Amino acid sequence: MDPLTHYMLALLVASRQGLDRERTRAFLVASLVPDIDLVMVVFGWSVLTRTHATVLGNLTVLPVLAVVVAWLLSRNPGRFRRVLPVCLAGVLLHTAIDLGVGLPILWEGNARCLRPFSEAVCLVSTWGLLPREMFIAAQILLLAVGWGGFAVMVSRGVRPWAALRAPPEDGN
């Protein structure tokens, strides 16, 4: 799934949970971080497809990723403890979307999310439980919600990206 759709779906979830500004920001950033390896596209599409999600899509790395994001966003123990749970939820949401409805397009066999413990492929679409068309339909639906939500918010004068601004310092 593309980063904009991940962001908009995370924003939808965050808005439904009534998170404060600090936790909303942490949740949104954490929901985007697993795709930071998309910068590999500067080395070419083949490099991206070989490397995408090899490390950051690994379920054993997700808690570490959440801790790093929480620490970078908080920089003190009190705030760290407040944002860590939502950071973990953000990286898990991202991974659940990718593994739940993802197709082996950007993955090229890299969806082995339990390495080094298992070489099992974690993409649900490769398990043969449902026809591939069901996963394509789910992706189209999520894309429509994500991109459609973005278009609606912008057309109403709402800036969805504003949620990424740092909350004001309160001395904690």
| Domain extent listing, the chain | 3-161
> What does the pLDDT read at residue 26?
94
Read off the pTM: 0.80
> What does the pLDDT read at residue 109?
52
Give the type of residue at 81. Answer: R
Cβ atoms of 163 and 25 within 8 Å: the answer is yes
Examine the pLDDT at 9 and tell me if it is beyond 60. Answer: yes
Least confident of 6-10, 47-51, 63-67, 134-138: 47-51
d(CA 97, CA 32): 12
Residue 110: band (very low, low, confident or very high) from pLDDT cuts 50, 70, 90: low
